[in-house]
């Protein structure tokens, strides 16, 4: 099963207002707008970002931007969704290449790939799979549902990770696993934010503690399906 199939099979409803282009020319403009948004996020942050400046940077009329995005919230939601898709594709390639034998290996690779994207992907420090900062920008009414209209961001990500992990989580009860992954994501998010506040490239000791924290929590949550910490 491909990464796209596995990671999308539990997807919910997309965030409202998003319109995906079909024609190649429109797809190129759509991608260029998201690239411009990501680049500007690194320069000015999410609170200062404007659709007018994104359109200018993407070299498209503001009307073209509004053909695809209802406003700033919709633009950030589309970027978060694209980031999640890319993350799952990259993680799937690493899973195939490194073939971890259980959830512990999956956990380490998932953290490693997130850290890699944090260091290298434009805008990811401001918007990963949701808003990475504490402040909610003007024009964003519901930052908790950027990826999915019905599920909060971390629940949506947890379901996608659960689908991607597949047989690695076969011994776990699905409901317990979803809850465990959701809590693990909340905890990992807090520790990794601390790691990148301490060091622009991510403090290695804190990244290591993030992995250990998630492994230990899931080991207990999944009734011993992970080795001892």
In a domain, 166, yes or no: yes
**Tens-place pLDDT, residues 37-91:** 999 999 999 999 999 999 999 999 999 999 999 999 999 999 999 999 999 999 9
- Output the pLDDT for position 15: 57
Quick one: which of 36, 31, 32, 71 has its CA closest to 51? 71
Residue 227 included in any domain: no
Residue 134 lies in a domain: yes
Is residue 84, in this structure, part of any structural domain at all? yes
Residue 4 pLDDT: 47
* CB atoms near residue 145 (< 10 Å): 21
38 in a domain, yes or no?
A: yes
Structure-token pair, residue 134: 């504490």
* pLDDT reported for residue 55: 98
pLDDT in tens, 139-194: 898 899 999 989 999 999 999 999 999 888 888 888 889 999 999 999 999 999 99
Assign residue 16 the CATH number of its domain: 1.10.357.10
Position 11 pLDDT exceeds 60:
no
Query: What's the maximum distance between 2 C-alpha atoms anywhere in the chain?
Result: 56
Q: 0.85 cut: is pTM over it?
A: yes
| In contact, 196 and 202? CB cutoff 8 Å | yes
Q: Which domain does 15 fall in, by range?
A: 3-221
DSSP 112-148: HHHHHHHHHSTTTTTBSSSB-SSSPPTT-S-GGGSSB
CA atoms within a 13 Å half-sphere pointing along the CA-CB vector of 27 = 3
Cβ pair 124, 118 in contact under 8 A: yes
In a domain, 35, yes or no: yes
228 part of a folded domain: no
Question: How many structural domains compose the chain?
Answer: 1
């Amino acid at each position: 099963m491909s990464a796209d199939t596995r990671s999308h099979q539990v997807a919910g409803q997309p965030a409202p207002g998003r319109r995906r282009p079909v024609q190649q020319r429109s797809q190129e403009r759509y991608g260029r707008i998201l690239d411009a948004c990501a680049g500007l996020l690194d320069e000015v942050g999410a609170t200062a970002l404007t659709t007018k400046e994104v359109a200018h940077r993407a070299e498209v009329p503001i009307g073209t931007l509004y053909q695809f995005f209802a406003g700033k919230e919709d633009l950030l939601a589309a970027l978060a969704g694209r980031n999640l898709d890319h993350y799952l594709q990259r993680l799937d390639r690493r899973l195939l290449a490194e073939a971890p034998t259980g959830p512990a290996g999956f956990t380490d690779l998932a953290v490693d790939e997130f850290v890699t994207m944090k260091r290298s992907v434009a805008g990811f420090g401001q918007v990963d799979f949701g808003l990475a900062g504490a402040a909610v920008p003007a024009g964003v009414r519901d930052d908790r549902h950027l990826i999915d209209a019905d599920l909060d961001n971390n629940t949506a990500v947890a379901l996608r990770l659960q689908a991607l992990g597949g047989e690695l989580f076969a011994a776990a009860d699905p409901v317990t696993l979803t809850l465990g992954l959701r809590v693990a994501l909340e905890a990992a998010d807090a520790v990794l934010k601390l790691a990148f506040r301490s060091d622009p490239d991510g403090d290695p000791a804190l990244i290591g503690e993030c992995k250990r924290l998630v492994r230990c929590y899931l080991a207990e949550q999944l009734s011993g399906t992970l080795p001892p910490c």
